[in-house]
Amino acid sequence: MEKTKTKKVLKIIGDVLFFVVIALILFIAVMNLRSKKNNGIPNIFGTAYVEVLSGSMDGDKPDSFAEGDLVIAKIVNDKNREEVIRNLKVGDIVTYIDYTIVKEGMIISHRITSIANPIEEGDPFHFPTYVVQGDNLDYGYGATNVPASRILAVYKSHVKGLGNVLGWFGTPAGFFVIVVLPCILFLIFEVYKFIRVLIEYQNEKNKKNDSESERERNINLTRETLNELVKSGILTQEQADQKLNEYIQGLESKQDEAVEQA
């Protein structure tokens, strides 16, 4: 009984771990697919997850963050851009794409220090330009003018150290560990279960064949004994047949009881 309970607990733990791994794989896969539609920012359900690659925001403000942290931000797209831009103010942190450092563009998260041609109350909406800069003034990033059209996300919060983890998932080693290795282990486990089922089936089949062979031997031996008794005149053929049928019925009853107990 204790062994059966242990097996059930281990099975539940294995199932939970399996579904957790599958959920993590799906989460990372969806984020990576979505990143292709949002300038390389991993995101899901409108929330971006940005790995911090430099120390330019390593400051003393409550929402400052350091290299290796993970920034959680609200995605800015064509549907919500006007609403988001209207609500941006000095002190907010935005994630934007900068083409001044590399030609392909670099994703950076900096704080708004001032707003050029801001939207005035009652004026028609227009896209202003933001002056952004990192909290770490000694890092080397100067103030940068960022048009509203290049803002990709707006800061919501951050998690210390988690950016390194997310970045590692994007490496070949991380992809192997989090995606390929679980699939290989799952395949091995399924093959193991299949082989074990085959072995159990073969063992049961052999037991059944052995049991049937033993049953047939006993019936034949009983039949031969009864035939000798008929020849010697101790039993009539009718009595011998009746006793043989009773013996066979007794064997079948024992077999049914064994099945019920199993």
SS3 sequence of 28-53: HHHHHHHHCCCCCCCEECCEEEEECC
Q: Are residues 53 and 100 in the same domain?
A: yes
Q: Are residues 93 and 57 in the same domain?
A: yes
Q: Is the pLDDT of residue 78 over 80?
A: yes
Q: Are residues 54 and 149 in the same domain?
A: yes
Q: Is the pTM of this model over 0.85?
A: no
> What are the pLDDT digits (tens) for 170-221?
677 777 777 778 778 878 888 888 888 888 888 777 777 666 677 788 778 8
> What are the pLDDT digits (tens) for 224-243?
887 877 788 777 888 878 88
Domain containing 232: what range?
Answer: 188-261
- Partnered with residue 93 across adjacent β-strands are 111
Q: Are residues 56 and 103 in the same domain?
A: yes
At residue 101, the 3 state secondary structure works out as: coil
Give a yes or no: residue 210 inside a domain: yes
Q: Are residues 49 and 127 in the same domain?
A: yes
One-letter amino acid for residue 196 of the chain:
R
State the pairing for strand pair 129-133/106-116: antiparallel
Q: How many domains does the chain have?
A: 2
